[in-house]
Structure 1
């Protein structure tokens, strides 16, 4: 997955978001965005939307698929999945 420019006000980010690794795959439709972790490690992820919609971070274990909202019917787009940074000491 190519790294893309995105901004967010989510407190989970101390730095610009880092794109999820290539072994994380997205399937996007109007209602749901499915994020599949085909990696060998757990990843805490969120999805970035064109309109800035913020959704909570979720952890995906290897071999699992997690669900986020889709692009909707109003012209929004899913830009990709990014890693969530955890706060120090958590």
Structure 2
């Protein structure tokens, strides 16, 4: 039983590492910056919710696989903000991106 649990744990770690690597590669390809780990995304076909559990506010947007462009929104600490979901046509939410501000170059 112990070897089964150890094997399952190792398998889950490998899968979660692969998902994180895939998300990082999407960011690099698309040229967008991801927010800190305290910003979370939960996507569904109708809505995508972004939760800011950080102590700072961030201007955020959601990145979609089909290039859908949605406006940036300010997420203050503790906010849960909504964006459009991925829909029923095979689109995907790739992640959350930090928006450039006037001071960024």
More strand by percentage: 1
**Which runs of 5 or more residues in structure 1 are unaligned?**
8-15
Greater RCO between the two (CA within 8 Å, min separation 6)? 1
Aligned residues: 81
**Which runs of 5 or more residues in structure 2 are unaligned?**
1-19
Which residue, out of 49, 74, 85, partners 2:89? 74
State the 1:60 CA deviation: 0.2
In terms of Rg, which structure is larger? 2
State the 1:62 CA deviation: 0.3
TM-score, with structure 1 as normaliser = 0.82
Q: What RMSD over aligned residues (CA atoms) do the two structures have, in Å?
A: 1.6
More helix by percentage: 2
